[in-house]
Amino acid sequence: MLTEFKKFAFKGNLVDMAVGIMIGGAFGTVVTSLVEDILMPLIGRATPGNLDFSERYLVLAGDVPEGASLEVAREVNDSILLTWGNFATASISFVILALVLFLVVKKFVAALQKEEEAPSPEPVLSKEVQLLTEIRDHLANRNP
């Protein structure tokens, strides 16, 4: 049973998949940081009033003081909030991640298609076949 597990666990495809999952997780963290720490502050800065998307919400129910921070609004009993700023940030992260994955997969598929379209090498002919081919070609090109 241990031998079977070793064969399963250390197959090339399984290890490659594990590495891909780890890199994908790290890439997701990088994209999240890019959006939350760089893009969203720049977008907020470009809006009137330097809009901070992480603090944007809409009160659907409850007595939340006007202008309260998101943290304070969440502490109000019986409050129902629509935190659209967090959703906007997550949506932008998704679009960036989907775009990068699309480009990577497209490049990968294009590379596979090039491999499939590569011409097969000419068959190696024996000396006799080569000689007979030369004779045939010479006779075909001869002036009558």
- Tens digit of pLDDT at every position of the chain (144 positions): 888 877 776 666 777 777 788 888 888 888 888 888 888 888 888 888 777 777 888 888 888 888 888 888 888 888 888 888 888 888 888 888 888 888 888 887 777 777 666 666 777 788 888 888 888 988 888 866
Rounded to whole angstroms, what are the CA distances from 61 to 66, 72, 84, 85, 139? 13, 14, 15, 18, 96
Rounded to whole angstroms, what are the CA distances from 102 to 16, 27, 97, 110, 116? 20, 14, 9, 12, 21
Q: Residue 144: its pLDDT value, please?
A: 61
Q: Residue 79: its pLDDT value, please?
A: 84
Q: Residue 113: its pLDDT value, please?
A: 73
Q: Residue 36: its pLDDT value, please?
A: 85
Q: Residue 119: its pLDDT value, please?
A: 67
- Indicate whether this model's pTM tops 0.85: no
